[in-house]
Structure 1
Amino acid sequence: MAARSESTSGTGRSKSPARATKLSRDTIVNAALTFLDREGWDALTINALAMQLGTKGPSLYNHVDSLEDLRRTVRMRVVGDIIGMLNTVGDGRTRDDAVVSMASAYRSYAHHHPGRYSAFTRMPLGGDDPEYTEATRAAAEPVIAVLASYGLEGENGFFAALEFWSALHGFVLLEMTGVMDAIDTDAVFTDMVLRLAAGMERR
């Protein structure tokens, strides 16, 4: 009996090899964001990311200059995402309503994107890169805008936003390390944010 050939016609189908991911800078950065949430910041290398994309490390260098270039781009993307998120949830809100909504969104982002959050918190507030420095300070602007509804503006608003962020960051880190597993963190978080908001008003 003659061997039955497989073709695209009839009942047989030919099997073609899977296509490799078409590389571009955006594709690589998006893959790096996904990689971060699964593996963590310290695990992000050119070769590890290339393996995820089904290619070799040198192929990525056609689109990114170096690992530091990739990491900087990832940080900038994360900053943009967080600024957009905070602006969205704070839109049309003021005072306690805005502060609670933005704090909850920030905490949710950190839990859903732990690797990206780690990239965000590794950014310096200053440095030799003007664009980078501007991006880090821009991350505070949505909060500063809300704090203005408490009468905190200018330098006072900036440092109040920094204090507020410090409290949120510390709480999120304690949650992520499991220190607060035995308590109702949702209730504690809400109470903390409201106490911070009350302090803003008294100032």
Structure 2
Amino acid sequence: MTSEPEPDSAADRPRAGNRSSARSAKLSREVIVNAALTFLDREGWDGLTINALATQLGTKGPSLYNHVHSLEDLRRTVRMHVVDDILQMLSTVAQGRTRDDAVMAMASAYRSYAHHHPGRYSAFTRMPLGGDDPEFTAASHAASVPIIEVLTSYGLDGEDAFYAALEFWAAVHGFVLLEMTGVMDTVDADVVFSDMVLRLAAGMAHRSGARG
């Protein structure tokens, strides 16, 4: 009579190679990019490397190259995701709002995103924004569209709206950077931020009136 192998025999235990293959099979480009986004907020842009991300995913660096071509490919994809997130966020908070209400909502949402996702925000503002990548340049310019659309409620359009949107971004981005470096620690940053945005909004209305 032939005895059956014990349940805990070597024949029944998965081989190390099989475990590795099963783990690698769970990887995909989407999984890797999402992990990179989470990694960014914890470790920062400069900390994002293939090997560091692979360690977070419980695998080895070469496994990631089955799904991303290079570190630059991964970083570019991450930045595209962040730009799209910011575009969607600004579009959402601006819905149904006009003028000062819309400007304050967008500025507050932008500031909140930067504070909750510092690593992703760093990826978004990392220079150069576009460089020789036409797709990324177009995506980063698209992020200004919701702002420009709101500025039309002040009667601004064309070049006036474009430059006003740049001023808006420069002011809010500058404020966020000052907060991140601790410059605003000695003041009520919320009050200063609200005052700044309202002054920006008043300037939009004044510019429109002056043009008229």
TM-score, normalised by the number of residues in structure 2: 0.85
What is residue 136 of structure 1 aligned with on the other side?
140
Separation in structure 1 between the aligned mates of residue 128 and residue 139 of structure 2, nearest angstrom: 10
1:121 alignment partner in structure 2: 125
Report which of the two has the higher share of helix. Answer: 2
- AA of the residue aligned to 1:201: A
Aligned pair in 2 of structure 1 residues 24, 119: CA closer, same or farther (>3 Å)?
same
Q: 1:189 aligns to what SS in structure 2?
A: helix
Structure 1 residues 139-167: Cα deviation after superposition (integer angstroms, max 9, x where no partner): 10010100111112112211111111000
Contact 1:37 1:115 in 2 (8 A): yes
Verify the 8 A CA contact 1:124 1:133 in the aligned structure 2.
no
Superposed, 1:35-184 pairs within 5 Å as 35-122=39-126, 124-184=128-188
Deviations 1:140-197 (A, max 9, x none): 0010100111112112211111111000011001111111111100010000000000
Residue 123 of structure 1 contacts residue 136 of structure 1 at CA under 8 Å; is this kept in 2?
Answer: no
Residue 89 to residue 123, structure 1, CA distance change in 2 (3 Å): farther
Question: Separation in 2 of the partners of 1:6 and 1:85?
Answer: 54
RMSD: 1.9
Aligned mates of 1:35, 1:188 — CA distance in 2:
31
Structure 2 alignment gaps of length 5 or more = 1-5, 9-18, 208-212
1:83-104 CA-partner distances (Å, limit 9, x unpaired): 0000000001000000000100
Q: Match of 1:62, SS?
A: coil
Q: TM-score, normalised by structure 1?
A: 0.89
Instruction: Quote the offset at 1:73 in angstroms.
Output: 0.3
Cα distance in 2 between the residues matched to 1:93 and 1:64 = 40
**Distance in structure 2 (CA, Å) of the matches to 1:95 and 1:153:** 14
* Structure 1 unaligned blocks of 5 or more: 8-16
Identity level (%): 77
Q: What amino acid sits opposite 1:69 in the alignment? A: D
Alpha-carbon deviations, 1:14-70, whole Å to 9, x = none? xxx897471100000000000000000000000000000000001000000100100
